[in-house]
C-alpha cells in the first residue's frame, strides 16, 4: 500500500456508522467475506460475469494454496482497503472445487489473488501469484 496516499479513514467511520449502502449482494466492509460451499454461487457469478449482480467496487478474491493456507492476510488487506474493494477469501478446498465446477474451471487457485471489475466499462481481471516460503 502506498503510504503517500493512504485510504481515507473517514470511510471506515461511515461504514461503522451504517451510512454506506450494500454494493449489490455484498456489504461495503473493512473485513473479508469468507466464501464457502454455501455461498460459492456468489463468487461463480462474479467470475462468469453473470448478469444477476453488477458491483461498483472491485472484488478481490484470495484463493488458498495447495496446503490450504491463504497467501496473505486477507483481514489486513480488507482493513487497509477500508471498504474501497470487496475482499473475499476461499474457505477450504471443497469451496475451490465447487467454484471450479460452476465456472468451467475459470476460477483462480493455488494461492493466486485476483481482482475482478464487474463494471461494464472495465470488465477485467488482474491476477497475482504469491509464493510462500
In a domain, 72, yes or no: yes
In a domain, 133, yes or no: no
Which residues sit opposite 127 in a β-bridge? 114
Each as own residue / partner, the long-range contacts of residues 47-54 (CB below 8 Å, 24 or more positions apart, any chain) are 47/99, 47/103, 47/106, 47/107, 47/116, 48/102, 48/103, 48/106, 49/118, 49/123, 53/24, 53/25, 53/118, 54/24, 54/118, 54/119, 54/120
In a domain, 3, yes or no: no
List, edge to edge, every strand of the sheet that includes 124-129: 33-35, 86-90, 59-62, 112-117, 124-129
- What pLDDT does 66 receive? 87
- What pLDDT does 110 receive? 83
In a domain, 1, yes or no: no
In a domain, 2, yes or no: no
In a domain, 5, yes or no: no
133 residues of the chain, pLDDT tens digit each: 555 666 677 777 888 888 889 988 889 998 999 999 999 988 888 888 765 677 889 999 999 988 889 889 999 999 888 888 999 999 999 988 898 888 887 777 888 888 888 755 544 555 565 554 4
Name the domain count of the chain. Answer: 1
The residue segments making up the domain with residue 111 are 10-128
In a domain, 62, yes or no: yes
CATH number at residue 36: 3.40.30
- What pLDDT does 133 receive? 43
In a domain, 123, yes or no: yes
Amino acid at each position: 500500500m502506498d503510504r503517500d496516499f493512504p485510504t481515507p479513514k473517514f470511510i471506515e467511520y461511515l461504514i461503522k456508522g451504517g451510512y454506506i449502502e450494500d454494493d449489490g449482494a455484498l456489504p461495503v466492509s473493512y473485513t473479508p467475506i469468507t466464501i464457502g460451499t454455501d455461498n460459492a454461487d456468489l463468487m461463480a457469478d462474479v467470475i462468469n460475469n453473470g448478469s444477476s449482480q453488477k458491483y461498483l467496487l472491485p472484488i478481490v478474491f484470495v484463493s488458498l494454496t495447495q496446503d490450504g493456507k491463504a497467501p496473505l492476510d486477507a483481514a489486513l488487506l480488507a482493513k487497509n482497503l477500508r471498504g474501497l474493494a470487496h475482499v473475499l477469501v476461499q474457505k477450504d478446498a471443497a469451496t475451490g472445487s465447487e467454484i471450479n465446477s460452476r465456472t468451467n474451471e475459470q476460477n483462480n487457485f493455488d494461492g493466486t489473488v485476483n481482482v475482478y471489475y464487474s463494471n461494464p466499462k472495465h470488465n477485467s481481471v488482474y491476477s497475482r501469484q504469491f509464493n510462500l516460503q
